[in-house]
Amino acid sequence: MQRFAGTNNGMIRLCEEIPKKLAVTPAMLKPFLEKDTLQSALSYNRLFIIDHSILDDCNKESESVVCSPIALFYRRNDDTIVPIAIQLFQDPADDNPVFLPSDNKYTWILAKMWFNNADANVHQSISHLGYTHIVMEGFEVSVHRHLAQSHPMYKLMLPHFVHLATINELALAILLNEGGFVDTVMSTGTKGAYELIKRYQPKWRLNVDGTLPASLKERKVEKPEVVPDYPFREDALLTYNAILQYVTDYVLLYYPSDNVLSQDYEVQNWRAELDRPIEKGGLGVLGIEGVNGKFTSRDQLIQVVTSIIYTCSAGHAGVNFKQYDEYAFPMNYPSKMRGKPPSDKRSHSERDVLQAIQDRSDHYQLLTIIKILSEHSFGKALGNFEVKYIFEQKALDIVNKFRAELKKIHATIQERNSKRAIRYDYMDPILIPNSISI
């Protein structure tokens, strides 16, 4: 469930072929495939993969080791999805074996811990800091630069930027400062975290990675028959679709035709800046809908604004509010490890596992911060705005329709949770703030 209901559930994808750099064989995997062969498991969409190649040599200046692992997962007959192979670095070698569930118990635990340590550093650097906090602040600055406060699109988006610049400034001063929180408790350190964000920038696209249905489809995990139990997908899609309808209704109210949109120079200037290269003063964001730097249809504007509002609200909630649940027990999701990862398949002991966990004082520091970050006490729930920008009656009717839909979603999720073996509350609209406020 950690891969589909955890705080970094957007990395796993369907495995359609085994990459050559992952040194597994059919015979090696056969004991973990129930009645499947490797080929049938691939053919029946039962294998999944996470490849953290982006971590390769990302923290050269840090004393801590961070792996760049590849992990393979298998969907069993009971639909649980479990790890069946972990290679801790990218290139196959005698000192980089593939670890398996049949290995010594503590050797397998260590391999999983080192994999999750890598995943945790991707989570904090890319999924959380880079592509919610930082990228959305760029959108906020651009909105203020190009749209008048009286502009309908300004009024639509501003409630979802409340507190964002402030919380980012605090993070820079307290968490990302030299020798601060990230340097102390994360394997990458601050420089490594920024390096990961920089590496991911050419890959991140608003209309794919920042658009939930497209992200699920691109990773080929959108269908329940492929991943039957994916709580984040099932619940987050409800809120995404509600936001999409809200934005659609609002945009159509103020833009009765594509031609009206084409003549709105404020929105068009804003659009042009979004994907203009950074060296030319733009945000340099890929995947911005439009043609030649302009919106040519209302659907394009709807897509961009929906992705912004979703990312600032539900998207951030998904990667933020489960942090304490994931990180608090250090063996579950270690932010930092001591020593070096296993380089052979020899047997390890419980003592070896305990010695690999970061020291107590660093972990206490981690607990203090992530407990605060996981609190829901900052910002009002989605649809209940702290600052009111919308006053026109027809627009208010659209807001009220949105709020009514969110109430229905809350009831649906409560009903689902009453039947789930493990509750998943993180996409319940009453627990999703409007903005990145923590």
Report the C-alpha gap between 334 and 318 in whole angstroms.
19
| Beta strands in 97-206, from DSSP E residues, in sequence order | 98-99
Which domains does the chain possess?
2-9+125-431 (1.20.245.10)
Please determine, for residue 62, whether its predicted confidence score (pLDDT) is greater than 90.
no
> What is the residue-wise DSSP string for 338-404?
-S----S-----HHHHHHHBPPHHHHHHHHHHHHHHT-S-SSPBTTS-SS-----HHHHHHHHHHHH
Give me the chain's average pLDDT, please.
97
pTM here is: 0.97
- Express each pLDDT in 218-262 by its tens digit: 999 999 999 999 999 999 999 999 999 999 999 999 999 999 999
- Express each pLDDT in 262-316 by its tens digit: 999 999 999 999 999 999 999 999 999 999 999 999 999 999 999 999 999 999 9
